[in-house]
Structure 1
Amino acid sequence: MFLAAYEHVLSPFHNFDEYLSKRGQLPHAREPDDPLRCPMTYYHDQDGVSPWSIMEQDPNRMRDFQLAMTVFNQAVPVLGTFDYRLLRNSPDEERDGRVQLVDVGGGRGTVLGEILAAFGDSLKAETCVLQDKPGVIELSRRNRALPGAVRRMNHDFFTEQPVKGAKAYVMRAIIHDWPDATCVNILTHLAAAMAPDSRLLICDAVLPPRLGEDNFFVAIVDHAVMALAGKERTERGFSDLLHQAGLELVRVWRVSGGAQAGACVEGRLKR
């Protein structure tokens, strides 16, 4: 995890003052809001190329990042927020093979594998989908903790969502990687695929209005994703994003331990 943190987070901030100066943001700096012109692209001298495309240029770099995400998932609980038993299919839905859960940008499948292991009485592997870019999906095939029956699908979440009407679409540690305008684009594609009863589950930290000492970990993560032009958000911030994408916030599922323990923002189509 240290290698990934150093490569993608610490290194781009070595020359952050130079970045701000070249962007004409001194002395009135503002948060990075363009993923094609962010601290990471500046550090690699690749403005105009997304941070994720930069990572894909080196298979070892992408591998280290995916391993770091596995460690992140161990540090920040996957379970204990949303009750995935709510996604149990009815007899009619089971007969029709309705997709229960789509893990959008799900990486190697660590999160989906953990959910299936805990909720195997309600979720079936064959009605769950793991989506990510081709290179990452290939890595998922080596994940022995992810059942082979899970449908693995190459997908770019900036394009039309191909799985229509699933019971739920989950994104963990995805939305915080992107600025607001980009998030609205991602969420709009999901909204277009959702059925009236579909749920959108955004599993990210939900910041309190004001951070304190108990929120040190999430403050570090907020600093980290700023290298990509991303940010952590408050409940109001998530509500605003959902509204712009034609969705509405239903509730925030939380576990004890503050923002760093993780949360799940549940959304649905506007009613």
Structure 2
Amino acid sequence: MRVITAIGFAAETGAQSYIATPLTKAITKPTLEAAVKICGLSNTKETYFHHIHKDPKTMKDFNTFMSGNRSTRQHWIDWFPVESEIISGSHEGKDEVLLVDVGGGKGHDLETFLEKFPRFKGRLVLQDLPGIIDNLKGLNEAIQAIGHDFFNPQPVKGARAYYIHFVPHDWPDEKCRDILRNLMTAMVPGYSKILLNESVLPDRGCPPHFAASDINMMSIMAGRVRTEGQWRELLQSIDLQIIRIWPSTDSGDQEAVIEAMLKS
């Protein structure tokens, strides 16, 4: 309790007498409680995600955290110009793929996309590991769900955009190159795009929350939360061209969409 009170997770009212603080109450909320649980895994030689996918209880905690975390932030379509950058110029036809959500979990991002753009032309494809896709319930019929490991070649060829939300920060640079190269083999030069919806940290003066998040990703999965300079270096190393970085309009948020294409 001396340590807990020293860092503000509780307060002392006397010798061995304590009361809750706002931080105490915050970590009892389902989203943050789930976050604590999913950060304490051990005793396995498997990768983090292969390990948690085998444990329904841990997977439930992971989805609780991800859903709650996203619900408090702007959605990427609220600041990224979808109509001008994705829908405009896309190939028309019901069999053409407009957007592939790579590692998209239960499809929350595509469901939100459908709500805002109900009359777009093209197909929406959700991809995640087969264990996730096989247990989906209630997914909108307009979304095609495919079991896929993004460390394997991308099976959906020639989509207008391949969207990845908070995936690369889970992996070191070399693994990210593997993920991106698998997408690049499916892209049409001058047409297909990769949309990386990620944190983009400033090269100096990083806010405390995001600095701590970087340490968290490193300790759990050998990943990293990258600065703008690190993103540019990573994509340039595999001949991806950054068209533009679109930052969130939420004050203080470091989330952005990195729009990239094959180098011409």
TM-score (norm 1): 0.78
Number of the residue aligned with 2:153? 160
What is the root-mean-square deviation of aligned Cα atoms in Å? 2.0
Number of the residue aligned with 2:194? 200
Q: Secondary structure at the match of 1:204?
A: strand
Q: Secondary structure at the match of 1:265?
A: strand
Taking structure 1 as reference, are residues 258 and 190 closer, same or farther at Cα in structure 2, changes over 3 Å only?
A: farther
> 1:7 is aligned with what amino acid?
K
Deviation at 1:262, TM superposition (A): 1.6
Aligned-partner Cα distance in 2 for 1:96–1:180: 36
Deviation at 1:116, TM superposition (A): 1.7
Aligned match for 1:2, one of 21, 26, 32: 32
Any gaps of 5 or more consecutive residues in structure 2? 1-30
Larger fraction in strand:
2
Question: Does residue 210 of structure 2 align to residue 224 of structure 1?
Answer: no
Once the two structures are superposed, what CA deviation does each residue of 1:131-183 show, in whole Å capped at 9, x if it has no partner?
001221134323xxx42121000000000000011000000010111111110
Aligned-partner Cα distance in 1 for 2:113–2:254: 17
Aligned-partner Cα distance in 2 for 1:186–1:245: 11
Number of the residue aligned with 1:66? 63
Number of the residue aligned with 1:31? none
Taking structure 1 as reference, are residues 129 and 240 closer, same or farther at Cα in structure 2, changes over 3 Å only?
A: same
TM-score (norm 2): 0.80
Deviation at 1:216, TM superposition (A): 3.2
Taking structure 1 as reference, are residues 123 and 233 closer, same or farther at Cα in structure 2, changes over 3 Å only?
A: farther
Larger fraction in helix:
1
- Check whether the contact 2:93–2:121 (CA below 8 A) recurs between aligned residues: no
Taking structure 1 as reference, are residues 225 and 259 closer, same or farther at Cα in structure 2, changes over 3 Å only?
A: farther
Any gaps of 5 or more consecutive residues in structure 1? 12-39
Number of the residue aligned with 1:52? 49
Taking structure 1 as reference, are residues 217 and 148 closer, same or farther at Cα in structure 2, changes over 3 Å only?
A: farther
Deviation at 1:256, TM superposition (A): 2.5
Once the two structures are superposed, what CA deviation does each residue of 1:220-251 show, in whole Å capped at 9, x if it has no partner?
33233221111111122111221222311111
Aligned-partner Cα distance in 2 for 1:56–1:177: 15
Taking structure 1 as reference, are residues 259 and 187 closer, same or farther at Cα in structure 2, changes over 3 Å only?
A: farther
> 2:69 is aligned with what amino acid?
F
Which of these two proteins has the greater Rg computed from alpha carbons?
A: 2
Higher relative contact order (CA 8 A, sep 6+): 1
